[in-house]
Amino acid sequence: MIAAKSSKFSAWFNVVTLVLLFLLMSAASSTNEGQNMSQSCVDGTYEHEGKMCCLCGAGLHLEEHCTMNLQIGKCKTCLEETYSSHPNNHESCEPCTSCSQPNANLEVDEPCTPARNTRCRCKKDHYCSSDIKTCKICYPCKVCAKGIKTACTANSDTVCDEGYDIVGITVGIIVTLAVIGLGIGLGLWLRRRHQKRQLPVALINVNTPEENIQFLRVVDLRPHLPDIVEVIGWADMKDLAIRSTILDPTIETCELNHPGNYQEATLELLKIWVERNGKEASRNLVQLLHRSGKRDRAERVMDILSRPNNNPA
């Protein structure tokens, strides 16, 4: 009797033990599966139709969404000349940046890959005035006649050495003294003659005090723009535009609109400048040239404006 009860107890004990072991194994399996599922989304997740799907990695784009929770859908490598630099669920990749825009003077530094955009840099002997990562146009580095103080870099122009040439200065002084003795009288005579020639057109001489420039006659510049462009040139026109707070993108657009033709670029920028200055354009032009030390150009502009058949604005 005792043996039967003991056998029955042992059987129940074995059954309970097996059930407990099964439950423990199921719990452990469920925990490991959850951990593996959460660890499988190494690039993060996104929600789609109530399910959390894994993001596609960098260099890939999404072709099909996942069908089960915490699984990755169907991802595909970016096509040639496209890229995706971050994990995503986009259906297409971004187009690679081109470094071959006309007259931008850029070249490829690092080619585009499925996971990284193209990186551009300035061509040799060119620099960019902005951050090279966002640079859209590079400019030729300045060529120095007397030597280089600071070399041209990717973000700054050459700084020339303005050191004095002792031999040149000595020769210049000797020649200047000799010429002064013979030519001072002739120079004064020519200057008086030039001033008298300017009086009938009511324009002031550029050597007069700057405060008198305000009395210059207002003249319509538009009929004379081609002639003025010949006098000013692209470099001086850019300087005038910058001094008149015309933004760099506007200046760059004029340059890009006329590749290699700086005369047309200067004409376009001068027209914009005239529109900005309105009726005071003629007076402001002479004044800016005077202030920037370009008195010879100011004088030539005044000669153009003093030609016959020029009506006041």
Instruction: Tell me the pLDDT tens digit for each residue of 6-25.
Output: 555 566 666 667 767 766 66
282 within 8 A of 216, measured Cβ to Cβ? yes
Q: Do 219 and 296 fall into the same domain?
A: yes
In a domain, 29, yes or no: no
For the chain, the farthest-separated pair of C-alpha atoms sits apart, in whole angstroms, at 151
Burial class (CB in 10 A: 0-12, 13-18, 19+), 301: buried
Report the CATH number at residue 241.
Answer: 1.10.533.10
Measure the CA–CA gap between 205 and 311, rounded to whole angstroms: 19
142 within 8 A of 115, measured Cβ to Cβ? no
Q: State mean pLDDT over 216-228.
A: 82
Report the CATH number at residue 53.
Answer: 2.10.50.10
In a domain, 31, yes or no: no
**Full residue range of the structural domain in which residue 67 is found:** 37-91
What is the per-residue pLDDT for 51? 92
Cα–Cα–Cα angle for 301, 244, 155, nearest 5°?
A: 110
- Nearest C-alpha neighbor of 282 from the set 194, 250, 290, 239: 290
Q: Do 235 and 282 fall into the same domain?
A: yes
Q: Do 123 and 58 fall into the same domain?
A: no
Whole-angstrom Cα Rg for the chain: 39
How many structural domains does the chain have?
Answer: 4
Average pLDDT, whole number, for the chain? 79
Q: In this structure, are strands 94-95 and 106-110 parallel, antiparallel, or unpaired? A: unpaired
In a domain, 221, yes or no: yes
Q: Do 235 and 301 fall into the same domain?
A: yes
In a domain, 110, yes or no: yes
Strand partners, 113: 116
What is the per-residue pLDDT for 36? 41
Q: Do 139 and 210 fall into the same domain?
A: no
In a domain, 272, yes or no: yes
Q: Do 255 and 235 fall into the same domain?
A: yes
Q: State mean pLDDT over 74-86.
A: 95
In a domain, 310, yes or no: no
Q: Do 130 and 224 fall into the same domain?
A: no
Instruction: Tell me the pLDDT tens digit for each residue of 23-68.
Output: 666 544 444 334 444 457 899 999 998 999 999 999 999 999 999 9
Structure tokens at 227: 């002639």
Structure tokens at 129: 């005035």
In a domain, 196, yes or no: no
Q: Do 176 and 87 fall into the same domain?
A: no
Q: Do 170 and 220 fall into the same domain?
A: no
Q: Do 248 and 226 fall into the same domain?
A: yes
Tell me the one-letter amino acid at 128. Answer: C
Q: Do 210 and 300 fall into the same domain?
A: yes
What values do phi and psi take at 257, rounded to 5?
Answer: -70, -20
Q: Do 207 and 299 fall into the same domain?
A: yes
In a domain, 312, yes or no: no
Instruction: Tell me the pLDDT tens digit for each residue of 158-215.
Output: 999 876 556 567 777 888 887 887 778 777 777 666 554 443 333 444 444 454 454 4
pLDDT at 291 over 90: no
Measure the CA–CA gap between 281 and 13, rounded to whole angstroms: 107
